[in-house]
Structure 1
């Protein structure tokens, strides 16, 4: 794993855990290309505003919960893959999954395709 991959992953999870919309917008602008796309079984969004709204929705659905990366980061070519969990501090995870990240030539995130391995019934 390169330090770049670790930095991208750290910023990605900082975005998901950021409660402040303005600070989150700064993270997104530094991490994602303008035409970025995020898709998982629950969301399909494009662009910085869509990403920020998706994170806000996750905070509303799971107030006080945080996303953490689990395991190592796999990387090849312009792609990264990591696993994650969602949990309240000191509690077992209520959701988890795998994200596959495609990087643009600039090194910013172009696309994330998420797969949910387990989640609560909503």
Structure 2
């Protein structure tokens, strides 16, 4: 029987990918948590980010320019191949920004399409 990670494992790896400064670790975490053709849609990106390499690059740029820590808040909620979960960004001074992620999953519980909404 093949290893099939659960949603908590996928989300944990995804959050770690946002928070690491190590490009090799980020790539491994993105590769483990997102499908090869992942599409990431964020209100701060002019167009969708497509593919694992592009997502890892976007995360690296975010870490370099903003550096806030990413975490999920509360338990994910979902059905079928859809999930939604609240997230939080925290800067070094403790200032927080909250939002919502809505995503589609593949059969291996990897993220296929990620749509982020920022509160306020």
TM-score class normalised by the smaller sequence:
0.7 to 0.9
Q: Which sections of structure 1, spanning at least 5 residues, go unmatched?
A: none
57, 64, 72: which one aligns with 2:61: 57
Q: CA deviation at 1:53?
A: 1.1
TM-score (norm 1): 0.85
Contact kept, 8 Å, 2:11 with 2:33, in 1: the verdict is: no
In 2: Cα distance, 1:78 partner to 1:84 partner: 19
Q: Which sections of structure 2, spanning at least 5 residues, go unmatched?
A: none
| Structure 1 equivalent of residue 90 of structure 2 | 87
| Structure 2 equivalent of residue 19 of structure 1 | 21
In 2: Cα distance, 1:31 partner to 1:13 partner: 9
TM-score (norm 2): 0.86
SS in 2 for 1:41: coil
Q: How large is the RMSD of aligned CA atoms in angstroms?
A: 1.6
CA shift digits 1:66-116 (9 cap, x unpaired): 0111122101111111111111356131x2210011001232211101111
Contact kept, 8 Å, 1:35 with 1:46, in 2: the verdict is: yes
106, 112, 115: which one aligns with 2:114: 112
In 1: Cα distance, 2:87 partner to 2:109 partner: 21
Q: How many residues align?
A: 114
1:102 aligns with 2:104: yes
In 2: Cα distance, 1:32 partner to 1:97 partner: 20
